[in-house]
Amino acid sequence: MNPTHDPTGASTGGRPIGLAVLGMGNVGTEVVRIFDESADDLRARVGAPLELRGVAVRDLTRARGIAAELLTDDAESLVTRDDVDIVVELMGGIDPARGLIRAALESGKSVVTANKALLAEYTGELATAAADAKVDLYFEAAVAGAIPVIRPLMQSLAGDTVERVAGIVNGTTNFILSAMDETGADYAETLAEAGRLGYAEADPTADVEGYDAAAKAAILASIAFHTRITAADVFREGISSVTAADLVAARKFDCTVKLLSICERIRDADGKQRVSARVYPALIPLSHPLATVNGAFNAVVVEARSAGRLMFYGQGAGGAPTASAVLGDLVMAARNKVHGGRGPLESTYAKLPVAPIDDVTTRYYVSMRVADRPGVLAQIANEFSKRSVSLAAVRQEGAGDDARLIVVTHRAPDRAQSECVAALKDMDAVLMVSSVLRMEGTDD
Amino acid sequence: MNPTHDPTGASTGGRPIGLAVLGMGNVGTEVVRIFDESADDLRARVGAPLELRGVAVRDLTRARGIAAELLTDDAESLVTRDDVDIVVELMGGIDPARGLIRAALESGKSVVTANKALLAEYTGELATAAADAKVDLYFEAAVAGAIPVIRPLMQSLAGDTVERVAGIVNGTTNFILSAMDETGADYAETLAEAGRLGYAEADPTADVEGYDAAAKAAILASIAFHTRITAADVFREGISSVTAADLVAARKFDCTVKLLSICERIRDADGKQRVSARVYPALIPLSHPLATVNGAFNAVVVEARSAGRLMFYGQGAGGAPTASAVLGDLVMAARNKVHGGRGPLESTYAKLPVAPIDDVTTRYYVSMRVADRPGVLAQIANEFSKRSVSLAAVRQEGAGDDARLIVVTHRAPDRAQSECVAALKDMDAVLMVSSVLRMEGTDD
């Protein structure tokens, strides 16, 4: 029997805890560096020495400042080695990470991972494997980098009823939107600049189209609502259609534009509860706590019935901040290996249905080019009114060929709002609907 | 053998978990209310039903909306009852809470407490008792109400090196200082108003003199620096000498005044590390994240080597928010009773010495009435210069009998700063030193 895999959870004494790291990108490099630098502190905190048994990389020939005998390209063998107690997965992506984590869990290793894409699809499968093997699966680093959000949601708020989680959890898009707001530059230009500065990847799709934020929304919603939510359950719009003009217009409504990951408990008229998880760029009031979260910073606002509104703020990405979260999980997993016991895995008892975006109550901001003639505003207002969507604000700008109308609605079902927009697009008087964004963070 | 006290930490199956609550003030009442209201959710999250076995109160005759057979004034018997697994202590104060918690721990009960005064003195004693009995001692509610700070510091940052924790963790004083800043009213008047509104107690000493904030600083510093820090180690000044004029003057330096609890890792020139824990009202720049924390809200900023700066914000007091933290701890303690295992207790291996305030590097703000004659500023500047304290800003205000001078210094050892103030008080040209405050949240 593998001596590290003791299903009674009894103490393993002062025996060293063996560690395997998969992947040596930014985060992996920082994890190994801090691990070496802080070895004495980590030993004292765990109650046993932590020893690095191996680091799996794709390309053995690239220098990495790690003793050659620790490097391997055989991750599969590494994760099941008898002298490995904890596997830290920092490769990202679904495969081969999924199989490696499963193999590790099934061999009685605890796993620490920052892999949000994987967790957004397969937390159920991985948590079940961890539960069967009576080991830990920790993933604080998967959402919002160094900011503790997983553990507070899962543990500190375990006795509360979370109503809503709204966060800025993607640094790339927040950097781009903040820069557009500051400089007035348009999206394409700012994306290029973000790439030059290292804030956007060569293929920025996962960030700018909201896939990364949606994966994190799925993880947060699953925990907050004790319901298994996957990325496919998350309604998603990216920021690539946000224009410089939108940010200027937002300011006129005392707002800015942020890409939000929103997880919401929806209470239907008949008392039934559902869950909405969604990602889109939205106007939020400048007075909202998320409005001042700029650049590569992240923040998550949690509203719970008893706790009220909580906010967590900090660096959401980068090697060192993410490594901080990974190492916190590592210390906790190692402590459990030494002292027995395990952290909570997943809680999915509530099994709430997912509400489609159509059923969610939202507010819309619609910017359009219109014919500059009398009666247009009345016609447009009529399209909203017919669908029981009331207007909160209307701004007319420009004249002649450049006549524009900006409309902000009150709360109404998203289906009605989007039907209004479709109707506008069919109107002769509306030359072009140039932007449609939602508005969040207001009470009306 | 008490069936709830299983030193192997093995699972107790689906057997109900018995709960005892000590104290039925605001928080206790909310805990019991939410406990009833959320019974189904709590059972699902714990994996076994939670059952309230008894509530200890001082006065049995006061109606509390609790079944009479659950009420008792015999807390000592309640905490050791065989059918009690977890004791929730919400009485506050040192005695009899200390003895009751010890008795509970020694009988194998896990304990959840919000008692900061007790923890600031006796965490060592209580954590040892909990370790010996292999049970949990959780106290998230002891600092900053609903805001998760204990668990993030103790667990999420377990792999990082915390450099500094600075927080607004007392709602009463923050309400008073915010109101003074808004209304221009003076301290005594605002304190009276806070009392009328229920934000200050009949005897406000523990809050306004900083004892409450100091207890929380001791708890935060102990966790952050893996060193046992008690309230006696915390340098403490309250807000009762802060004047309306100070808040006006602070604005002129683009600052406001907040009562801060500061825990800092100090690196001496020889590389040795010490810990400073201190509470005082301080000027902080309006741009600092803590400057916008108003009213009864709390916030804690943590700076760690890898994580960078994190901020946690929310409601720091009140029945429901504090109950949220208590119930989170309760669910975690109950989960451990069901599934085996325990959370971390205390970590004091670093045993860093405490630096006296004299050795801490601070900035001073000094407001004084001075003689309105040439040369006074030069004389005053000379007193600072002699002690190697350099001046960052000087403002002269008024004239004649009302001539005033406000001085803000650069960073220097607090001993030198306070010696300057003592010297000013001896100067003929200084008619009165009206205010001395420190300044925090700046780099220079």
The amino acid present at A195, given as its one-letter code, is G
Q: What is the pLDDT of residues A158-190, one digit of tens each?
A: 999 999 999 999 999 999 999 999 999 999 999
* Nearest residue in chain A measured CA to CA from B321: A307
Residue A6 has pLDDT above 60, yes or no: no
Banded pLDDT at A238 (limits 50, 70, 90): very high
Query: Start-end ranges of CATH 3.30.360.10 in chain B?
Result: 151-312
d(CA A138, CA A150): 9
d(CA B258, CA B295): 11
Chain B contact present for A184, CB below 8 A = no
What is the percentage of chain B residues whose pLDDT exceeds 90?
Answer: 87
Half-sphere exposure of A59 toward its Cβ, with a 13 Å CA cutoff? 5
Banded pLDDT at B63 (limits 50, 70, 90): low
* A134: annotated active-site residue: no
The structure tokens 């975006």 sit at A357
3-state secondary structure of A53: strand
Chain A residues touching B311 at Cβ < 8 A: 311-314
Other beta carbons within 10 Å of A256: 23
Q: Which residues lie closer than 8 Å to B229 by C-beta, 6 or more apart? A: B217, B218, B221, B222, B263, B275, B277, B354
Tokens at residue A264, please?
């919401």
CATH number, domain A17-145+319-339, options 3.40.630.30, 3.40.50.720, 3.40.50.2000, 3.30.1330.40: 3.40.50.720
Chain B contact present for A286, CB below 8 A = no
Question: Is the N-terminal amide bond of A289 cis, ω within 30° of 0?
Answer: no
d(CA A160, CA A331): 27
CATH number, domain B151-312, options 3.50.50.60, 3.30.360.10, 3.40.50.1000, 3.20.20.70: 3.30.360.10
Query: Under a CB-based contact definition with an 8 Å cutoff, are residues B106 and B81 in contact?
Result: no
What is the percentage of chain B residues whose pLDDT exceeds 70?
Answer: 97
Query: Start-end ranges of CATH 3.40.50.720 in chain A?
Result: 17-145+319-339
The structure tokens 């100090």 sit at B266
Q: Between residues 25 and 64 of chain B, which touch chain A (CB distance below 8 Å)?
A: 30, 34, 38, 41-42, 44-45
Could you report the predicted ipTM of this complex, rounded to two decimals? 0.93
Q: Which of A109, A116, A134, A216 is catalytic?
A: A216
Out of A10, A42, A306, name the one closest to residue B320 (CB). A306
* Residue B253 DSSP label: T
Q: Shortest Cα distance from A323 to chain B (angstroms)?
A: 7
Contact B349 A156 (CB under 8 A): no
Residues B57-74 have a mean pLDDT of 87
Q: Which residues lie closer than 8 Å to A220 by C-beta, 6 or more apart? A: A143, A149, A153, A165, A167, A169, A261, A263, A277, A300
The structure tokens 């604080």 sit at A140
Out of B148, B305, B309, name the one closest to residue A156 (CB). B148
Q: Which architecture does CATH list for A150-315?
A: 2-Layer Sandwich (3.30)
Chain A residues touching B336 at Cβ < 8 A: 341
Q: Which long-range contacts (CB under 8 A, 24 or more apart) does B397-403 make?
A: B399/B372, B400/B372, B401/B372, B402/B369, B403/B369, B403/B370, B403/B371, B403/B372
Residue A133 has pLDDT above 90, yes or no: yes
Query: Start-end ranges of CATH 3.30.360.10 in chain A?
Result: 150-315
pLDDT of residue A164: 98
* Dmax (CA) of chain A: 84
Query: Under a CB-based contact definition with an 8 Å cutoff, are residues A285 and A363 in contact?
Result: no
d(CA A97, CA A112): 12
Which region among A434-438, B66-70, B167-171, B309-313 has the lowest average model confidence (pLDDT)? B66-70
Query: Start-end ranges of CATH 3.30.70.260 in chain A?
Result: 357-439
Contact A152 B155 (CB under 8 A): no
Q: Which residues lie closer than 8 Å to B169 by C-beta, 6 or more apart? A: B143, B144, B212, B213, B216, B217, B220, B261, B298, B300, B316
Tokens at residue A234, please?
């998350």
Query: Under a CB-based contact definition with an 8 Å cutoff, are residues B106 and B303 in contact?
Result: no
Contact A161 B326 (CB under 8 A): no
Residue A340 has pLDDT above 90, yes or no: no
Contact A38 B159 (CB under 8 A): yes
Q: Shortest Cα distance from B421 to chain A (angstroms)?
A: 38
Q: Which architecture does CATH list for A357-439?
A: 2-Layer Sandwich (3.30)
Contact B307 A315 (CB under 8 A): yes
Residue A20 has pLDDT above 70, yes or no: yes
Query: Under a CB-based contact definition with an 8 Å cutoff, are residues A149 and B318 in contact?
Result: no
Q: Identify the residue among B160, B228, B331, B352 best suited for mutation to test binding to A, counting A beta carbons within 10 A and taking the highest.
A: B160
d(CA A262, CA A438): 12
Q: Between residues 308 and 327 of chain B, which touch chain A (CB distance below 8 Å)?
A: 308-315, 320-321, 323-327
